[in-house]
Amino acid sequence: MSQTTVTPDLAPAAATAPAANITRTVFPVLGAVSLCHMLNDMMQSLLPAIYPILKGGFNLNFAQVGLLTLVFQITASLLQPMIGRFTDRRPMPYSLPFGMGFTFTGLLTLGFAPSYPVLLLGAALLGIGSSIFHPESSRIARLASGGRHGLAQSIFQVGGNFGQSLGPLLAAFIILPRGQQSISYFGVLALVAMGILTLLSHWYTQNGNTKPVARKAAARHSSLSAPQVKAAMAVLIALMFSKFFYLSSFINYYVFYLIQHFHLTTQDAQVDLFIFMAASAAGTVLGGPIGDKIGRKPVIWASIAGVIPFTMVLPYVGLNATILLSVIIGLVLSSAFSAIVVYAQELMPGQVGMVSGLFFGLAFGLGGIGAAALGELADLTSITFVYRICAFLPFIGLLTALLPNLSKAD
């Protein structure tokens, strides 16, 4: 009886078979891919974090700020599902360090951009890097899960959320004092990530199936019809719209809201944005493991619909209450993403890369559309009005009632 042994480190395993039956969670691999996710999303989060610098330095209005986010996130959202679909059939693990090279180039472009069109180019390069990174790295996380898919997705995703939360702090204490060009310093971290991703690519080639697949297997959940799967996917996409449009109001405009509404300094507002994003990272950690135990659907219910009372109150309270509510909203709302991704992977188990690319792509694309739309709305009305309108978005979470039960826990 022959069985491939999964090594607990990142060095290539001694196996010769192209695929391995991994029956236990490989935490060193999950930790490494989460670390790379942290570095990747941290570098990408520097773009919205330096919007106050770019807005003043290039005399941008809110619509132009929103367009920067739109270019970055639409680039990622359009490419991610296509890359995921392609790598489902022809896995390309070494695309990971290659994709990080686009992020490295994007940082340099943003750091030395002399004009607004070059800023747009730098944002696009960051988007391309993200589109290559997420589908294949999510596949590695699932491969290393040992069947604990929610836990693995949470560990993977918390790296990204924590990285996003670091962006405002880095902007406040490194980039703001030193200016736009200092964003290029973080290219060193992209080079570090490329090295780690190369090791992960070696591990994947030894422990995963990297042979081309002629056709998709297990295209949908065994207990559901094709129309049921399509309907469930439509509901999940609606939930993603609700979640990421609302999060876009925080990621892109929370700093401006705090500055205008409470007259905070830019540095203090960046720290408060970090607090919100750190709470979001903590929520991501909770969502996956809880979903493994009680089912994905209850987590989605509690996360998106459960945040409604807090979003409704937020625009009408003082500074301290605003910060407290932002922590609760970030914690509760972000617990849904891991559950949504794993639920979708269970709906379409033979298309992990495409599903991962689709939902990470939606996260970027909807966030980008939200940034542009909310920026236009803020120019026409006010930042405060934007938060009053966005407070109603979580009501879309009530559509969770239409999702089919995939397990007894649901």
Q: Convert the pLDDT of each residue in 139-150 to its tens digit.
A: 898 888 887 888
Kindly report which listed range (125-129, 276-280, 310-314) carries the lowest average pLDDT score. Answer: 276-280
**Residue 137 and residue 353 in contact, taking contact as beta carbons nearer than 8 Å:** no
Residue holding tokens 């709302």? 333
Residue 8: pLDDT band by 50, 70, 90 thresholds? very low
* Amino acid 216: pLDDT: 46
pLDDT (tens digit per residue) in 275-285: 998 888 888 88
Does residue 5 fall inside a structural domain?
no
Does residue 1 fall inside a structural domain?
no
31 vs 369, residue with greater confidence: 31
pLDDT at 32 over 90: yes
Count of structural domains within the chain: 1
* Amino acid 410: pLDDT: 59
pLDDT at 21 over 80: no
Does residue 384 fall inside a structural domain?
yes
Contacts of residue 81, defined as CB under 8 A and 6 or more positions apart, other chains included, come to: 354, 357, 358, 361
Which ranges of 112-148 does DSSP label H, i.e. alpha helix? 116-143
Contacts of residue 309, defined as CB under 8 A and 6 or more positions apart, other chains included, come to: none
pLDDT at 18 over 70: no
Residue 131: burial class (beta carbons within 10 Å; 0-12, 13-18, 19+): buried
**Residue 242 and residue 393 in contact, taking contact as beta carbons nearer than 8 Å:** yes
* Amino acid 222: pLDDT: 55
* Amino acid 218: pLDDT: 47
274: number of CA atoms within 13 Å, CB side? 17
Highest mean pLDDT among 64-78, 189-203, 367-381: 189-203
Over range 20-34, report the average pLDDT: 82
Over range 327-334, report the average pLDDT: 92
pLDDT at 333 over 70: yes
**Residue 135 and residue 119 in contact, taking contact as beta carbons nearer than 8 Å:** no
* Amino acid 47: pLDDT: 86
pTM strictly above 0.85: no
**Residue 355 and residue 319 in contact, taking contact as beta carbons nearer than 8 Å:** no
Single-letter code of the amino acid located at 43:
M
Over range 389-397, report the average pLDDT: 92
pLDDT at 6 over 50: no
Does residue 4 fall inside a structural domain?
no
Does residue 40 fall inside a structural domain?
yes
pLDDT at 121 over 90: yes
d(CA 29, CA 17): 19
**Residue 348 and residue 216 in contact, taking contact as beta carbons nearer than 8 Å:** no
pLDDT at 11 over 60: no
Does residue 407 fall inside a structural domain?
no
* Amino acid 9: pLDDT: 44
**Residue 344 and residue 233 in contact, taking contact as beta carbons nearer than 8 Å:** yes
In whole angstroms, what separates CA 220 from the centre of its chain? 24
Please provide the average confidence, as pLDDT, over all residues in the chain: 83
* Amino acid 209: pLDDT: 59
Please report, rounded to a whole number, the percentage of residues in the chain having pLDDT higher than 70: 89
**Residue 394 and residue 305 in contact, taking contact as beta carbons nearer than 8 Å:** yes
Cα radius of gyration rounded to whole Å, the chain: 21
Over range 322-349, report the average pLDDT: 89
Over range 99-120, report the average pLDDT: 94
* Amino acid 16: pLDDT: 33
* Amino acid 190: pLDDT: 94
* Amino acid 33: pLDDT: 94
Number of helices (H), then strands (E), belonging to the chain: the values are 16, 0
pLDDT (tens digit per residue) in 199-222: 999 998 888 655 555 444 445 555
Please report, rounded to a whole number, the percentage of residues in the chain having pLDDT higher than 90: 32
pLDDT at 368 over 80: no
Structure tokens at 80: 């991610």
Over range 215-236, report the average pLDDT: 73
DSSP 397: G
Highest mean pLDDT among 160-164, 296-300, 359-363: 296-300
Over range 37-61, report the average pLDDT: 86
200 vs 161, residue with greater confidence: 200
Instruction: Return the ∠ at Cα 75 (arms to 341 and 392), rounded to 5°.
Output: 55
Single-letter code of the amino acid located at 270:
Q
pLDDT at 247 over 80: yes
* Amino acid 210: pLDDT: 57
Highest mean pLDDT among 52-66, 227-241, 314-328: 314-328
Cβ count within 10 A of residue 238: 15
Q: Which domain holds residue 72?
A: 27-402
d(CA 410, CA 404): 8
185: number of CA atoms within 13 Å, CB side? 10
* Amino acid 364: pLDDT: 65
Whichever domain contains 129, its CATH number is 1.20.1250.20
In whole angstroms, what separates CA 146 from the centre of its chain? 23
pLDDT at 66 over 50: yes
